[in-house]
Amino acid sequence: MPDNIDNLLVETRRFAPDEAFTGQAVATPALAERAAADRLGFWADQARELVTWSKPFTRVLDWSNPPFAKWFDDGSLNVAYNCLDRHVEAGLGDRVAIHWEGEPSDTRTLTYAELTREVKRAANMLLDLGVTEGDRVVIYLPLIPEAVISMLAVARIGAIHSVVFGGFSAESIRARVDDAGAKVVITADGGWRKGAVSPLKPAVDEALDETLHGASTVDTVIVVKRGENPVDWHDGRDLWWHDAIARSGDDHVAQAFPAEHPLFILYTSGTTGKPKGILHTSGGYLTGAAYSHRNVFDLHADTDVYWSTADIGWITGHTYVVYGPLANGATQVIYEGTPDSPEPGRWWDIIEKYRVTLFYAAPTAIRGFMKAGRQIPASRDLSSLRLLGSVGEPINPEAWVWYRDVIGGGITPIVDTWWQTETGSIMISALPGITTLKPGAAQVPLPGVAIDVVDDHGEPVGRGEGGLLVITEPWPSMLRGIWGDPDRYRETYWEKFADKGYYFAGDGARKDDDGDIWLLGRVDDVMNVSGHRLSTAEIESALVSHPLVAEAAVVGAADETTGQAVVAFVILRTSQVESMSPDDAVAALRAHVGHEIGAIAKPKTVMIVQELPKTRSGKIMRRLLRDVAEGREVGDTTTLADTSVMTVISAAL
Ligand code: PRX
CA of 546 to the centre of ligand 1 (A): 31
Give me the pLDDT at residue 4, please: 36
**C-alpha triplet 68, 70, 72: angle, nearest 5°:** 170
Task: Please tell me the residue having the least CA distance from ligand 1 atom 14.
Answer: 420
DSSP annotation of 428 reads: B
641 lies in a domain? yes
- pLDDT tens string 248-265: 999 999 999 999 999 999
> Would you say 426 and 446 are in contact if contact means Cβ atoms under 8 Å apart?
yes
**Is residue 149 included in any domain, yes or no?**
no
Q: Does a structural domain hold residue 617? A: yes
Question: Nearest residue CA, atom 3 of ligand 1?
Answer: 393
Alpha carbon of 391 to ligand 1 centroid (Å): 7
In a domain, 606, yes or no: yes
pTM of whole model > 0.75?
Answer: yes
Q: Phi and psi at residue 223, in whole multiples of 5°?
A: -120, 115
Cross-strand bridge partners of residue 61: 71
Q: What is the signed CA dihedral for 386, 406, 433, 42, rounded to 10 degrees?
A: 80
Task: Look at ligand 1, atom 2, and give the residue with the nearest C-alpha.
Answer: 393
Tell whether 190 is covered by a domain: no
Q: Which pLDDT score is estimated for 577?
A: 67
pLDDT of residue 1: 36
The residue among 410, 154, 430 whose CA lies nearest residue 297 is 430
d(CA 634, CA 626): 9
CATH number assigned to the domain comprising residue 628? 3.30.300.30
Q: Is residue 588 part of a domain?
A: yes
Alpha-carbon 347 to chain mean position: 20
Q: What is the 3-state secondary structure (H, E, C) of 407-425?
A: HCCCCCCEEEEECCCCCCC
- Count of the separate structural domains present in the chain: 1
Largest Cα span, the chain: 73
Domain hosting residue 633, numbered range: 526-652
Tell me which residues have their CB closer than 6 angstroms to ligand 1.
268, 315-316, 391-394, 416-421, 442, 505-507, 519, 522, 528, 532-533
Helix, strand, coil percent content, the chain, rounded in steps of 5: 35, 25, 40
In angstroms, the CA 203 to CA 231 distance is: 11
With a cut of 70, which residues of the chain have pLDDT below it? 1-9, 576-577
Q: Which atom of ligand 1 is nearest to the CA of 532?
A: 10
Ligand 1: residue whose CA is nearest its atom 26: 418
Amino acid letter for position 146: E
Protein residue with its CA nearest to atom 5 in ligand 1 = 420
If one residue of 422, 507, 523 were mutated to test the ligand 1 pocket, choosing by the most ligand atoms within 8 A of its CB, it would be 507
User: How far apart are alpha carbons 493 and 554 in whole angstroms?
Assistant: 23
Cα gap 13→514, rounded to integer Å = 14
**Which atom of ligand 1 is found nearest the CA of 505?**
16
On whether residue 586 sits in a domain, the answer given is yes
Indicate which residue's Cα is closest to atom 24 of ligand 1. Answer: 394
pLDDT at 407: 98
Is 567 a domain residue?
A: yes
Long-range CB contact pairs, 166-169, < 8 A, 24+: 166/140, 166/141, 166/142, 166/191, 166/198, 166/200, 166/311, 166/313, 167/313, 167/598, 167/599, 167/600, 168/140, 168/203, 168/313, 168/597, 168/598, 169/203, 169/594, 169/595, 169/596, 169/597, 169/598
Note the pLDDT tens digit of each residue in 132-175: 999 999 999 999 999 999 999 999 999 999 999 999 999 999 99
Peptide bond into 342 cis (omega under 30): yes
pLDDT (tens digit per residue) in 189-226: 999 999 999 999 999 999 999 999 999 999 999 999 99
